[in-house]
A = this chain, B = another copy of it.
Amino acid sequence: MVRKTKEEAEQTRKEIIHAARRVFHEYGVSRSTLEKIAKAAGVTRGAVYWHFQDKAELFFAMREDVFAPLVERTDAYLLSERFDNPLDAIEASITEFFRVLEDSAVVREVFEIMISRCEYVGEFSSVEEEVGRPAQDFLAKIERVYRQAAERGMLRPGIDPLDAARDTWAFTSGLLHLLLSCQRGSDLSQQVSAMIRVHMAMRRITPS
């Protein structure tokens, strides 16, 4: 039976993406053949080639599915007006990011694929830029927020907002990488929220 309805076709497209995620995660991107992915999705390579031009396009689709809404979520916290203290917005945003990472196996799988199961060469070198841009954006955003905190006298004296932003930037990136690539039995995931709290506490005024 072929020639499904439009909705059914969209469904198989999504199943291919989900299967790709599982296969990428298990075998790594370059060892994930389209045959394996198709089989995991319950279709043949013909279906995969119908929906996606090649492996790279499938990879990008899988990534975009998870990435865009995540950035939107964390930005909502970061740019929210409901925090009296801008530092609370930063803390809430970062905490939310790692909370999603902890709660959603799908998100975690995609990040693990991108960090330790993909080689950024050839058709995939553009991925690095696509990932680098949000990182760059994140730095710019938290710098603005830190600046607001400084203006309102809520950043500890002697700390430059840009310096604080860069430090938080590196901290966040490092925490992500450590969490996903060398957790092996370490209790790091249970320490995450405490680490974020401590990190932010160091730049608040009147640290008890």
Whether the pair A184, B31 counts as a contact (CB closer than 8 A) is no
Number of copies: 2
Residues of A1-57 at the interface with B, using a CB-CB cut-off of 8 Å, are 26-31
Whether, in the assembled complex, A131 has its beta carbon less than 8 Å from a beta carbon of chain B, the answer is yes
Cα A171 to Cα B29 in complex, Å, equals 29
Whether, in the assembled complex, A195 has its beta carbon less than 8 Å from a beta carbon of chain B, the answer is yes
Main secondary structure, interface of A, reads helix
Q: Taking A167-B198, A208-B158 as contacts, is the C-beta distance between A184 and B121 under 8 angstroms?
A: no
Cα A176 to Cα B174 in complex, Å, equals 8
Whether the pair B158, A31 counts as a contact (CB closer than 8 A) is no
Name A residues whose Cβ lies closer than 8 Å to a Cβ of B: 26-31, 116-122, 128-129, 131-132, 135-136, 158-160, 163, 166-167, 169-178, 181-182, 184, 186, 191, 194-195, 198-199, 202-203, 207-208
